[in-house]
Structure 1
Amino acid sequence: AYHPKAAALCSLTVTAATPSRKAFLACPDHSPAAGRSLTPARGAPASSPALISAVQDLYEFICSGPLVERIGYTRERIAESIDRWLWCGSQVSRLFRIDELRLTDAEKSRIYHFYIPVFLWCEDQVADHRSKYNDGDEIPPLVIGVSAPQGSGKTTLVFALDYLFRVSGR
């Protein structure tokens, strides 16, 4: 499950390893055992829906995310790729069967401050990895690891990432 404080403290790094490359996302302990509940938004009491009334509002919300700088995105890069963010948000909403136009604050944060930034970072890692090889070369696998405490939403994140990679044709 997404927790804003956990996302703010996540570290994104890429480590070269032979014969493959590895990328790691490490997050601190914000598990229930540490005194902080990371109950998924579906299990949380429903808050009033955060109606996304305009792309500009969503753009500002995305730019305020705790992972934006860590994944190497600027306000300009987000603006240039806003269609990608919107598409990903729509796909993740469908995956979890939630109304993308009536997201709760927790759902909106989880999707636009956690799942999509991590997905875009992973896409960048894959593109960077592939760019190091010539056409026709056998490209070794890229391993991306997620390091976070039990109960922090790793399985759900991987489920969302897998889905986004599949629907984007990767």
Structure 2
Amino acid sequence: MALSEVTSPDPSDRAAVRDYVLGGPLIDQLSISRENATDDVVDRWTSVAARLCDQLSLEQASLDPAQASRVYRYYMPVYLWCLARLEAHRSASAPGAACPPLVVGLSAPQGCGKTTLVAQLTRLLDADGVRAASVSIDDVYLTGAEQETLANKNPHNPLLRFRGNAGSHDVALGVRTIESLKALNANPGSTTKVPRYDKTMRGGRGDRAPRDIWPTHTAPLHLVLLEGWMLGFSPVGDEAVKAFDPHLAAVNRELRRGGYDRLHLAVDDWVVVRVEHIEWVREWRLEAEREARAAGRGALTDDEVADFVDRFLPAYRAYLPGLYGDGPFGSQTGKVLTVRVDRGRNVLDV
């Protein structure tokens, strides 16, 4: 059924909300059936949807089909899945020991809305008393000066000229950050600063933000949301990688030996946002940069966007089949939620 043919549910009608949510593409992965979708459960769904609408500045009673799908069938199910995984994580924790925060990895291509999703999840969690920290693999990019050094050491490799591919991250910083967050609850009074990267600096080429503006987290911490466009990628064979792009061999080596495995293995559960046509990334990135320019922030020109995205496409083509077919690096069966979106970022059947 086309999205435009689906009617947004009346939030005052339990039966309508129940039918709409249960008809969504993610519900089977949440093990929710009509039998356990009691009135109390449906009322909870309506309440969460109301909070999402408030966060997104939407009118719950007059959502258009795309907005309704985004609220009831995308963001809310992902949120409910995170809560269920957190409950399972706590149940598996040793009695009497400080339970470390659950680390949920969100792997999604650039521009498909992962940053917005993380922001909405964090606000929902906070309202429910679940303290969460958000970390992006983008936030541990090399500093601008370090990126220039990397580019100068690889003058003939366009994939390492600018930030983005494996090799352009301070992976050790990322691992230390996640490990420090996971240890917070066992060390009352300790704090952890989470790095931030400002993509508007250096004319849109980006640089690490000053440390004094990095957010600080203290115990108790219940959940860490780690997101990234290449999160969960597994290296491929040396010969296979050359078929995608000869320059990708250096990136593949970094993915294999650069510490990314430690970062991935620090993740407990995964959300993978899947797209059918990776070329959509170009459109999404162009849209984001134009919005940044319109707001007066540093941004890339249209030509720079095209050049920038071209440097990511070989990695997408090489590593997405493995991510989608085998799951993220180090992931376990039953601990991966798969979300498929279309060109308009609407959730689809998996």
Q: TM-score, normalised by structure 1?
A: 0.67
Aligned to 2:124: 164
SS of 2:54's equivalent in the other structure is helix
- Superposed counterparts of 1:23-62, under 5 Å: 50=8, 52=10, 54-62=13-21
Q: Flag the 1:141–1:169 CA change in 2: closer, same or farther, 3 A.
A: closer
Paired residues of 2:9 and 2:20 also in contact (CA < 8 A) = no
1:4-57: CA deviations, max 9, x gaps? 99xxxxxxxxxxxxxxxxxxxxxxxxxxxxxxxxxxxxxxxxxxx846162211
Query: Quick check: 92-101 or 80-89, which moved more?
Result: 80-89
State the partner residue of 2:100.
Answer: 140
Counterpart Cα distance in 1 of 2:83 and 2:113: 20
Report the counterpart of residue 39 of structure 1 in structure 2.
none
Are 2:60 and 1:100 aligned? yes
How much has 1:133 moved relative to structure 2?
Answer: 2.2
- Asked if structure 2 preserves the Cα contact closer than 8 Å seen for 1:51 and 1:102, the reply is no
What's the counterpart of residue 29 of structure 2? Answer: 70
For residues 107-122 of structure 1, the aligned pairs below 5 Å read: 107-122=67-82
Structure with bigger gyration radius = 2
**Distance in 2 of aligned mates of 1:51 and 1:102:** 9
Give the match's secondary structure for 1:169. Answer: coil
Please name the residue that 2:346 is paired with: none
1:141 deviates by: 2.3
- Which ranges of structure 1 fall in alignment gaps of 5 or more residues? 6-48
Cα root mean square deviation, aligned: 2.4
CA contact (8 A) 2:89 2:102 kept: yes
**Kept in 1: contact 2:30–2:77 (CA 8 A):** yes
Distance 2:35 2:115 in 1: 31
- AA partner of residue 119 (structure 1): Y
- The TM-score normalised by the length of structure 2 is 0.34
Q: What is the rounded CA distance, in whole Å, between the counterparts of 1:147 and 1:72 in structure 2?
A: 22
Measured in 1, the distance between the counterparts of 2:91 and 2:13 equals: 36
Aligned length: 126
Question: Cα distance, 1:139 vs. partner?
Answer: 1.2
Q: Secondary structure at the match of 1:101?
A: helix
Separation in structure 2 between the aligned mates of residue 51 and residue 73 of structure 1, nearest angstrom = 19
The percent of aligned pairs where both chains have the same amino acid is 35
The alignment partner of 2:111 has SS state of coil
Unaligned runs of 5+ in 2: 131-350
